[in-house]
């Protein structure tokens, strides 16, 4: 089986990093590590 190269578009990588950061931030909030307030 030949190895297949996966080419990543830079925007896809940025979107995945942003999503990961958001999930981590929300997880920290739920665990009480970070205080978050709603935007006004």
- What is the rounded CA–CA span in Å between residue 9 and residue 11? 6
pLDDT at 34 over 60: yes
- What is the rounded CA–CA span in Å between residue 8 and residue 34? 32
pLDDT of residue 5: 73
Give the residue, 39 or 8, on which the prediction is more confident.
39
Q: What is the full DSSP assignment across 5-20?
A: PPPPPHHHHHHHHHHH
pLDDT of residue 4: 67
pLDDT of residue 2: 61
Q: How many CA atoms lie within 13 A of 13 on its CB side?
A: 5
Each residue's pLDDT tens digit, 2-32: 666 777 789 999 999 999 999 999 999 999 9
pLDDT of residue 1: 56
């Amino acid at each position: 089986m030949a190895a297949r190269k996966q080419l990543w578009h830079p925007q896809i990588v940025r979107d995945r990093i942003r999503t990961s950061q958001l999930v981590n931030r929300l997880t920290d909030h739920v665990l009480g590590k970070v205080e978050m307030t709603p935007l006004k």
